[in-house]
Amino acid sequence: MVQEAIELFKQHQNVTVRKSTLKSYDKFLERFKAKFSLREVVSVTADDIGKFLEECSETLSRATRHLRYAQLKAFFNYVIETSDLNIKNPCNAGVLFKTFKNVCHRPREILDKETVDEIIFNAKSIRDRLILELQARCGLRIGEVLNLRVSDVTGRKLIIQEPSRVRTPK
């Protein structure tokens, strides 16, 4: 049954994923459970999933729609693997993949040094120029620059009290 499979999946997630991931899955899986709780996992079709995803995500951004699709796909992968079900993941249907595919982001354009220097030189106020200098020369994010205080500067050293978390590549 779908309801039992969701409970099993949630128990697995409590041990293996972060709280933010749990929170992201929780409400979505509850909606899925409300719709399909009395059905067997093997009876859920790609059409059922497509209709459900459309209902749940019609007002959401394309990236969020893809996330919801990926979450359901992960749920079905887990259930199929742990229960030794001899079925194909219904989320692997080509129609669903195309409908909920991820957005392709354009690569960021990197400015050359001369352009950055010109932008800094053309800043109207000293404050703006200092902010741009700190961002360009020190690699600081805007939030880090705006949180700086006079006490953070010692001679030629700058101490960032709460730097943004460094993202590690996966």
Digit-coded pLDDT (tens) for 76-91: 888 888 887 788 888 8
Digit-coded pLDDT (tens) for 92-118: 888 888 888 877 777 888 889 999 999
Q: Coil, strand or helix: which one is 135? A: helix
- Provide the pLDDT confidence category of residue 15 given band limits of 50, 70 and 90: confident
Q: Coil, strand or helix: which one is 153? A: strand
- Please give the model's pTM, rounded to 2 decimal places: 0.58
Q: Name the architecture of domain 2-99.
A: Orthogonal Bundle (1.10)
- Domain regions of the chain by residue span: 2-99, 113-158
Q: Coil, strand or helix: which one is 2? A: helix
- Provide the pLDDT confidence category of residue 164 given band limits of 50, 70 and 90: low
DSSP line for 31-95:
HHHHHHTTS-GGG--HHHHHHHHHHHHTTS-HHHHHHHHHHHHHHHHHHHHHHT-----GGG-HH
